[in-house]
A and B are shown apart, each in its own frame.
Chain A
Amino acid sequence: MDKTPYIIITLALLMGIGIVFFSRLGSNDSTSNQPIQNVQIKDGIQYVTINANAGYLPRVSIAKAGIPTKLVVKTNGTYDCSASLVIRSIGYQKILPQTGEEVIDVGIPKAGQPLQGLCSMGMYNFKINFN
């Protein structure tokens, strides 16, 4: 049997799967250049808002270091994995209500120590950089 066509199809499919997995990371650079209004400072407290529904948006946020910060995670009919939120660095884990807002106190973040949130299965994540 001639294996060449099968090897070519295999390589093409592997590339296809690779694109599916990593394309979000590529497109993310273009979106993160645009200013996303998800960081607000009110009464001396910084609020970072993340939408959780089939993943977290925005994937990468930039916030200020050195001020008390709270994370607001909004769910809206969220039943998928992004509802079960884990933030290892502050030891937080909770299954969020299907629809609502969860306010999480993350203390006073230090510059250069990003905060990373994951869904419990690990396939969705978001990151907040502090500077």
Chain B
Amino acid sequence: MKTYTFHVSGTHCASCKIFIEDALSGQNFIKNVRVDLKLETVEIETDNDKDPRALAQILTEKIKSNGYKLSVEKSIAEKQSSDVVWKAIPIGLAFLALFFLLQKSGILNLGIGGKTTPVTSFIIGLIASVSSCLAIVGGLVLSLSAKVSQDNVSDTKTFILFHMGRLISFALLGGVLGIVGSAIGINFTFTAILGLLASLVMMFLGLNLVGVFAKNKIALPSGFFNFFRRIEHKTFTPIIIGFATFFLPCGFTQSMQVSALGSGSFMSGLLIMLAFALGTLPMLVLLSFGSASFAHGKHAPLFFKSAGVVVIGLGLFALLAGLAGLGIINPLFSI
């Protein structure tokens, strides 16, 4: 029985420890695996007496597709990552500046008068997807997509489930609003609190993407991450998040909900909300699948960090606006 210690690269999350340990201990010639995220090492006990280099290669094959790499010498990739942050901050800020300028410019304030039909609600969906609602719904989609891609959970399936869940729940809830009429209202305080939660999630994931937590990855017990990882793998989690976006604070969504309420029948309410959700789809699909394609490209570290900067900015904006909306703080700005 011999013990080898390898350097490991690509461990960006606490759940990586669990993943690598699971993947490697599945090999029958390996008796024991211990990953140290702090030192970025993997300790292996084996009765296989191969050359350590050859062994590192064999084991890398098992976990390569998830972005991890074992090596005998310490990889020099570390130096690079601190430089990436300095490039990522201006890129992220440039996107934020562009976004807020777009809001300020008033281009989006197209006057759409008259009755709400599925066609107008589709157009309103298109506008909403680049409006200030993007700060909260889009920011959440971007942060979750980048995180999912980074953790290499089967991302395409997750995104499809999310978008399907979103479309179906908008349609169904729209239909329900159509039947019940004005009997129930969607509580503003409830949506505001949900919005605050979403902005906190965005800021947490944003900091995570930028790599602020990289130095103390094991600050939380791995049991918590084990739980989180299991949730990430569940099929219905993205569907539920898609469902929850119905209640996120967005003026356009709320206007559409009122239109659905007033529409008077299940079918018309369903059509209004479905058309609206379809209108918002192109932008959100672009965000989720765009981030996936970047995440698998060679600029992945730069993308994750830039996305992190964007998400933190949007999260902060949503948080301050949400607190003002609840009357907790005075409104600081008006865009």
- Which residues of chain B are near A118, meaning CB under 8 Å? 324-325, 327, 331
Q: A13-B93, A25-B333, A118-B331 are in contact. Are A98 and B255 (CB under 8 A)?
A: yes
Task: Give the contacts of A93-118 with B (CB-CB under 8 A).
Answer: 93, 95, 97-99, 116, 118
Contact check, B252 vs A80: say whether CB atoms are below 8 A apart: yes
Q: Does A10 contact B (CB under 8 A)?
A: yes
Which segment, of B15-23, B188-196, B200-208, faces chain A? B188-196
How far is it, in angstroms, between the C-alpha of A17 and the C-alpha of B89 when the chains are bound?
13
Chain B residues near A22: list those with CB within 8 A.
333
Contacts of A10 in B (CB 8 A): 89-90, 93
Q: Is A46 an interface residue (CB 8 A)?
A: no
Q: Are B111 and A77 in contact (CB under 8 A)?
A: yes
Q: Which residues of A contact B254 (CB under 8 A)?
A: 81, 83-84, 95, 120
Binds A, one of B34-42, B98-106, B139-147, B153-161: B98-106
- Find chain A residues with CB under 8 A from B136 CB: 121
Give Cα A119 to B254, complex, Å. 11
Residue A42 CB within 8 A of the other chain: no
Residues of A within 8 A of B251 (CB): 79-84, 119-121
- Chain A residues whose CB sits within 8 angstroms of the CB of B317 once the complex forms: 123
Is B54 an interface residue when CB atoms closer than 8 A count as contact? no
Interface residues of A in 53-105 (CB under 8 A from B): 53-55, 59, 76-84, 86, 88, 93, 95, 97-99
Residue in A1, A21, A120 whose beta carbon sits within 8 Å of that of B86 in the complex? A1
Taking CB atoms, residues of chain B closer than 8 Å to A79 are: 112, 124, 127-128, 251-252, 255-256
CB within 8 Å of A: which B88-135 residues:
89-90, 93-94, 96-97, 100-101, 104, 106, 108-109, 111-114, 116, 124, 127-128, 131-133
Distance A119 CA – B322 CA, assembled complex (angstroms): 10
A14 at the interface (CB under 8 A from B): yes
Interface pair A20/B104, CB less than 8 Å apart: yes
**Best-surrounded residue of A14, A76, A124 (most CB of chain B within 10 A):** A124
Question: Hey, which chain B residues are within 8 Å of A83, CB to CB?
Answer: 251, 254-255
> Residues of B within 8 Å of A, CB-based: how many?
58
Closest B residue, CB atoms, query A24: B334
Quick check: A21 and B335 within 8 Å, CB to CB? yes
A13 touching B90, Cβ below 8 Å:
yes
Residue pair B90, A121 in contact (C-beta under 8 Å): no
**Contacting residue for B97 out of A1, A13, A55, CB 8 A:** A13
CB contact under 8 A between A17 and B324, given known A10-B90, A80-B131, A121-B251 = no
Q: Are B191 and A123 in contact (CB under 8 A)?
A: no
Whether A121 lies near B132 (C-beta < 8 A) is yes
Task: Please give 13 more A-B residue pairs, beta carbons under 8 A apart, in addition to A9-B90, A122-B323.
Answer: A17-B93, A20-B97, A21-B100, A76-B111, A81-B133, A84-B188, A88-B327, A119-B325, A120-B188, A121-B195, A121-B250, A122-B320, A123-B331
Offer 7 A-B interface pairs, CB within 8 angstroms, sorted by A: A10-B93, A17-B313, A81-B132, A95-B255, A118-B331, A121-B322, A125-B334
Interface residues of B (CB under 8 A from A): 83, 86-87, 89-90, 93-94, 96-97, 100-101, 104, 106, 108-109, 111-114, 116, 124, 127-128, 131-133, 136, 185, 188, 191-192, 195, 249-252, 254-259, 313, 317-318, 320-327, 331-335
